Structure 1
């Protein structure tokens, strides 16, 4: 798939970085993926909605091998309908939200987090909005 968006961040993308993607698919073949990559080229976090079987897939590609897929059967995406996906990272997890509802949580498999310095969105279609931003992390008072 061609790269539609790519951003680099010196110092690493996590924790506190958020990726917002807005788009719309036209057919079940309009698959796309989002990858957070490390300096070494490993994929620290791979997110791919699969319209063909209505699942969300998360994984990591490290030292030339894919890890065990984590498959989520919650699939709030609909063909030909606009969507908004946000992927937010804290010190332990990538959190995936679709239409502001949390649909997946993926534990960091790649360490150190500071070495995750690139994000890519791959797709044959154009997305009207792709935004990478830094959010403030809040700690709850106990």
Structure 2
């Protein structure tokens, strides 16, 4: 997968930041993911839509190991259709919304949150729009 977007924020990206991604899913392959990374290179939050199983998967990679996957069957994305996903966080969770539906709530496994300083979006297809913005803590 190709790196489509990367941003760094020395003060930390969680809580209070929002990442919005717009694109088009043309292929049946699961070739799109978002990773929030810590200063040490751990993945504090990894989210990936799996079109083949119509699920959204969240996980964390810490200390050289993947944790327990959390899977949501709320999947409002469809192949061949444009999509919009938004990922943000409050003090307790990362929140994933897709097509304005709440899809996944993932409890923070990485502390301190201020060490989550980088976000990457990887995809085999060119994305229409990616925006990182300060949103506040009003998730839910």
TM-score after normalising by structure 2: 0.96
| Number of aligned residues | 138
**CA positional deviation for 1:48:** 0.4
Matched, 1:80 2:71: no
List per-residue Cα deviations over 1:89-121 (Å, max 9, x = no partner).
Answer: 110000111111111100000000000000000
- The runs of at least 4 aligned residues of structure 1 exceeding 2 Å deviation read none
**CA positional deviation for 1:136:** 2.5
Matched, 1:37 2:37: yes
Quick one: distance in 1 between partners of 2:67 and 2:115? 19
User: What is residue 136 of structure 1 aligned with on the other side?
Assistant: 136
Quick one: distance in 1 between partners of 2:49 and 2:137? 27
Secondary structure of the residue aligned to 2:58 is: strand
Partners of 1:57 and 1:69 within 8 A in 2 = yes
TM-score after normalising by structure 1: 0.94
* Pairs within 5 Å for 1:42-57: 42-57=42-57
**CA positional deviation for 1:30:** 5.1
* Pairs within 5 Å for 1:91-130: 91-130=91-130
User: What is residue 68 of structure 2 aligned with on the other side?
Assistant: 68
Taking only aligned residues, the RMSD between alpha carbons, in angstroms, comes to 0.9
Partners of 1:30 and 1:123 within 8 A in 2 = no
List per-residue Cα deviations over 1:42-82 (Å, max 9, x = no partner).
Answer: 00000000111111100000000000000111111000101
User: What is residue 20 of structure 1 aligned with on the other side?
Assistant: 20
Quick one: distance in 1 between partners of 2:111 and 2:135? 20
Work out which of the two has the higher radius of gyration on C-alpha atoms and give 1 or 2: 1
Gaps in structure 2 of 5+ consecutive residues: none
